[in-house]
Amino acid sequence: MIPENSPSAAGPRPVIGVSLKLYFGLARTRAWLAEVAALDATLAALPRPVDLFVLPSFPALADARELLGATGIAFGAQNVHWADTGAFTGEVSAGMLAEAGARYVEVGHAERRRYFGETDEAVAAKTRAATRAGLIPVICAGERHAGELGTAVDETLTQVRAALAGAAPGSEVVIAYEPVWAIGAREAAPARHVRTVAGAIRDALRDHDVRGRLIYGGTAGPGTYGELADAVDGLFLGRLAHDTEGLRTVLEEIAAVEVAGGEVARGEVARGEMPGSEVPGAEVPGVQVPGVQVSGVQMPGG
């Protein structure tokens, strides 16, 4: 792993991501983006820099560009196609996202794998397309079921290594460790569990020529980062961030936690409560994307 783009004695710059999934309509998304834009003053006043990016639905990207363009808050998309152009009805290319002003793009989320049959090969191809276009892929990975820690490490690393194999040399990536069983659960995965898997992901990042940061998602909220700051670089938030005051709380908490030499200095941190067919294969350079099968298994909300 080559150095992160904002190195310091305390490690990479913390980063918070928010995906809106399909919870908001266009008008509500625009209103939410305006509230997020107002957090730029909060970000500027934090005791240390924290990066923030948000991932609305495709139709809201123009609103994101308009409302966030003058701030330090980045935006991106929740999905991308692996091809730059072609007869792929309904798909959006990485180049088009870059033209729209996107900086980040989510790939490999468990819901994409479950509902749309995305495979490790497809995620690698999407990672390649994103990095080729200069986007930062937010690569989601995590085991499906709670259980043996060794199994969690193996299952997660298989996904991470497959995705990183598609990353362009020297590119920037974010790995979002999201144990599927913790998405939409009552509480986050145990800190010891996350630290163990995160350590294995760090090792995988070092084996690839990328600039990588690692964030945790899966019922993340106030208090989560304080427990994991020695293991991850930030959080991937879901419904907690629908209320931007909750997002503000997490940003302030992360900025108050200092990590140096493996030791974590925590401020007043307390855990808060959460608000409530076959697809034809396609080739991209170096990656063969096979057909995928769609499963009907229900995913938890998150």
Active site residues: 109, 178
Contact 67, 34 (CB under 8 A): yes
Half-sphere exposure of 194 (CA within 13 A, CB side): 31
Other Cβ atoms less than 10 A from the Cβ of 263: the count is 9
Identify whether the C-beta of residue 235 lies closer than 8 Å to the C-beta of residue 250. yes
Instruction: State the Cα torsion 142-49-12-176 to the nearest 10°.
Output: 10
- Give me the amino acid identity at 63: D
Cβ–Cβ < 8 Å for 297, 213: no
Q: How far apart are CA 189 and CA 193, in angstroms?
A: 7
208, 211, 215, 217: CA torsion to nearest 10: -60
In this structure, how many other beta carbons lie within 10 angstroms of the beta carbon of residue 69?
11
DSSP secondary structure letters along 111-167: HHHHHH---HHHHHHHHHHHHHTT-EEEEEE--SSS--HHHHHHHHHHHHHHHHTTS
CA angle, 4 then 56 then 218, to 5°: 65
